[in-house]
């Protein structure tokens, strides 16, 4: 079959540029090509950035994406010349007519530009070219999670589209491509992985999701120049060791916002002595055996998938050679999920003499000097650890299954073996007292020499998590009516209009509040959570800010 797969564009591309080639799109493409389909893949972020930079699209032209009435009307079949034009700009030069199917991925950022633009593009493709569309991406799952809020949208979607898929969509797209033209197909929604249907009572349900698969991404057909980082050429640098260290610092030590900023500055003014390199995203384990109560993984509905270590390293060797880069960001739930996997992985990297540099998530338990030494020798630069909170009382409440001793030991190991340790923290858990938060602050302050970067977030309720499903157990009462579909769009439109940076973008997951049954109400919890979050942000290392200022200066001199 002849197909195109479109990744819908996002707000982030306009604010920070494109840091990584799209891994999920490339994995989907790889699967379909292996299945024998002729596939063209398009990351529409690149088309949006191109149109934006050329002045063909501006802020005003995109505001309709936050206009509920216009989006729903278009999806219901109403004419709208401005939306047509938007779709034409993004699809310019792409041979859509005559294809057997177009897959549209909405991505997984839960922001409204990719969600709405993906649906609008799907409707445009159906109406203009008469081509079958299948829609997927993690954002679909999120829309089902909060379906009570998005009922109007789901009403329209289930009328407008035959194929909307939740979960890994690789097998579903292949199946739909082969059978969609058959009259009366599918005979039952359940024969397509994750296929969405509307039940008689209006509930949005879906067929069992596909099991995740470890697949090597295939980026062929994408314009990779959009994702380049400019690093020092180690082969010609007078001091290759120093060049290697500076490159590692740029790609693995700096926080993502700084990496993206450097990329944006360098893209406009490529520095002398530097060469472009991409960083490849790659995932080889899916889901998690732990069940931290706040985390979506705690619903345990998806089976654990761990790639075969030898095949994973073979993939890395292929990708490194094929795309001319030693740099990888792994997107696993955590790398040291199985000690035997880690040992095999590291041994295989050594056996192949592979020189790669990478980062991933990890847990402090299941980590020792021997394992971390092997990981470091296999190219590990940075590990992200979910610590969440600085006190064991709250760690136990949220079932983190971690002790402060393990955290301290892990941080010291990282420092000793030369791996940058980043921490993920959460403030605003139910009943987080001043003392609990004080423990977090004291821990971070006391270990500031061991921690490279702290990613702090405010707690919000994930409906499928243990805390979302059993709020009583945690002394919580969920408050569901704080936002509507329309009010969330208004918030997002105001943010988009203001041109504010991504750090102030509304969190569209943070829809439900909660009252403590024996304590504060949701308003006080949010306010205090925000204050605590600001305090943690203020504790960040000053050198990242200073580096940003330096880049800003370079940028202004070059201009
Ligand atoms: S927070 Fe991390 S360790 Fe805990 S369940 Fe989620 S993915 Fe697993």
Which residues, including other chains, have CB under 8 Å from residue 81's CB and lie 6 or more apart?
A: none
Residue with CA nearest ligand 1 atom 4: 292
pLDDT tens string 430-439 = 999 999 999 9
What is the C-alpha to C-alpha distance for residues 30 and 320, in angstroms, rounded to an integer?
A: 16
The answer to whether residues 441 and 402 touch, using CB atoms and an 8 Å cutoff, is no
H or E segment to which residue 485 belongs? helix 485-498
Check residue 558 and give its pLDDT.
61
Residue 438: how many other CB atoms lie within 10 Å: 12
Token pair in block for residue 401: 């299954």
CB of 290 shorter than 6 A to ligand 1: yes
The finding on whether 333 has its CB within 6 A of some atom of ligand 1 is: yes
Substitution site in 283, 297, 335 for ligand 1 pocket (most atoms within 8 Å of beta carbon): 297
Q: CA–CA separation, 238 vs 256, rounded Å?
A: 28
241, 289 Cβ separation under 8 angstroms? no
CA dist 367 and 336 (Å) reads: 7
Q: Is the CB of 386 under 6 A from ligand 1?
A: yes
User: CATH topology of 2-206 equal to that of 225-475+517-554?
Assistant: no
Would the CB of 304 count as within 6 Å of ligand 1?
Answer: no
Angstrom distance (rounded) from CA 434 to CA 528: 10
Q: Is the distance from the beta carbon of residue 293 to the nearest atom of ligand 1 less than 6 Å?
A: no
pLDDT of 273 reads 84
- Give the burial string for 514-545 (b: 16+ CB within 10 Å, else e): bbbeeebebeebbebbeebbeebeeebeeebe
Q: Across the beta sheet with 38-43, what order do the strands follow?
A: 38-43, 2-7, 101-105, 132-136, 163-164
Centre of ligand 1 from the C-alpha of residue 212, in Å: 17
335 lines ligand 1 (CB under 6 A): no
Give me ligand 1 centre to Cα 246, in Å. Answer: 32
Distance 425 CA to ligand 1 centre (A): 13
| Total-model pTM | 0.96
Domain boundary assignment for the chain? 2-206, 225-475+517-554
- Give the pLDDT confidence score for residue 266 in this predicted structure: 87
* pLDDT, position 458: 96
Whether domain 225-475+517-554 has CATH 3.80.30.20: yes
Quick one: 197 exposed, middle or buried, by C-beta within 10 A (0-12, 13-18, 19+)?
middle
User: Which of 212, 292, 398 most suits a substitution to test ligand 1, by most atoms within 8 Å of the C-beta?
Assistant: 292
Tell whether domain 2-206 is in CATH 3.40.50.880. Answer: no
Give the pLDDT of the chain (559 residues) as one tens digit per residue: 999 999 999 998 888 889 999 999 999 999 999 999 999 999 999 999 999 999 999 999 999 999 999 999 999 999 999 999 999 999 999 999 999 999 999 999 889 999 999 999 999 999 999 999 999 999 999 999 999 999 999 999 999 999 999 999 999 999 999 999 998 899 888 899 999 999 999 999 999 999 999 999 999 999 999 999 999 999 999 999 999 999 999 999 999 989 988 998 888 888 888 999 999 999 999 999 999 999 999 987 889 999 999 999 999 999 999 999 999 999 999 999 999 999 999 999 999 999 999 999 999 998 999 999 999 999 999 999 999 999 999 999 999 999 999 999 999 999 999 999 999 999 999 999 999 999 999 999 999 999 999 999 999 999 999 999 999 999 999 999 999 999 999 999 999 998 877 778 899 999 999 999 999 999 999 999 999 999 999 998 888 888 888 888 877 776 5
């Amino acid at each position: 079959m002849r197909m195109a797969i479109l990744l819908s564009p996002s707000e982030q591309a306009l604010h920070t540029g494109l840091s990584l080639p799209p891994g999920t799109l490339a994995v989907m493409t790889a699967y379909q090509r292996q299945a024998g389909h002729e596939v063209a893949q398009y990351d529409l972020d690149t088309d949006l950035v191109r149109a934006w930079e050329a002045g063909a699209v501006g802020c005003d032209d995109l505001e309709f994406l936050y206009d509920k009435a216009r989006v729903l009307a278009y999806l219901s079949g109403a004419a709208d010349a401005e939306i047509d034009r938007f779709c034409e700009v993004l699809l310019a030069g792409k041979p859509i007519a005559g294809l057997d199917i177009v897959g549209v991925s909405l991505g997984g950022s839960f922001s409204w530009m990719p969600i709405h633009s993906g649906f609008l593009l799907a409707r445009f493709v159906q109406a203009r070219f008469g081509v079958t569309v299948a829609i997927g991406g993690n954002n679909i799952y999120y829309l089902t999670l909060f379906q009570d809020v998005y009922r109007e949208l789901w009403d329209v979607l289930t009328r407008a589209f035959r194929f909307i898929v939740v979960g890994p969509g690789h097998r579903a797209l292949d199946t739909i491509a082969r059978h969609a033209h058959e009259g009366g197909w599918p005979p039952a929604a359940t024969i397509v992985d994750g296929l969405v249907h509307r039940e008689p009572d209006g509930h949005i349900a879906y067929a069992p999701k596909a099991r995740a698969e470890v697949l090597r991404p295939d980026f062929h057909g994408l314009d990779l120049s959009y994702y380049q980082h400019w690093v020092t050429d180690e082969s010609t640098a007078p001091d290759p060791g120093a060049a290697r260290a500076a490159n590692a610092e740029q790609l693995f030590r700096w926080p993502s916002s700084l990496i993206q900023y450097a990329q944006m500055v360098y893209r406009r003014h490529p520095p002398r002595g530097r060469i472009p390199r991409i960083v490849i995203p790659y995932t080889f384990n899916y889901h998690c055996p732990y069940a931290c109560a706040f985390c979506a993984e705690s619903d345990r509905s998806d089976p654990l998938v761990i790639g075969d270590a030898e095949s994973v390293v073979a993939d890395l060797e292929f990708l490194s050679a094929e795309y001319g880069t030693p740099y990888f960001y792994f997107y696993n739930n955590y790398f040291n999920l199985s000690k035997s996997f880690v040992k095999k992985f590291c041994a295989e990297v050594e056996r192949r003499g592979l020189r790669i540099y990478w980062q991933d998530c990890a847990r402090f338990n299941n980590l020792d000097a021997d394992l971390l030494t092997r990981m470091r020798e296999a190219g590990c630069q940075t590990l992200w650890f979910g610590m969440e909170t600085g006190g064991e009382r709250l760690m136990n409440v949220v079932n983190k299954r971690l002790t402060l001793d393990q955290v301290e030991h892990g941080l010291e190991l990282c420092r000793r073996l030369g791996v940058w340790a980043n921490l993920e923290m959460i403030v605003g858990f139910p009943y987080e007292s001043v003392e609990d938060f004080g423990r977090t602050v004291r821990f971070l302050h006391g270990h500031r020499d061991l921690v490279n970067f702290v990613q702090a977030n405010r707690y919000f309720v994930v409906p499928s998590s243990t805390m979302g499903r059993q709020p009583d157990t945690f002394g919580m009462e969920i408050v569901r009516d704080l936002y509507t579909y329309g009010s969330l769009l208004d918030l997002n439109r105001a943010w988009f209009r203001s041109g504010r940076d991504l750090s102030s973008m509304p969190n569209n997951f943070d829809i439900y509040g909660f009252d403590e049954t024996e304590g504060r109400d949701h308003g006080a919890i949010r306010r205090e959570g925000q204050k605590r979050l600001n305090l943690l942000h203020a504790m960040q290392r000053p050198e990242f800010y200073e580096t940003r200022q330096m880049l800003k200066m370079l940028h202004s001199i070059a201009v």
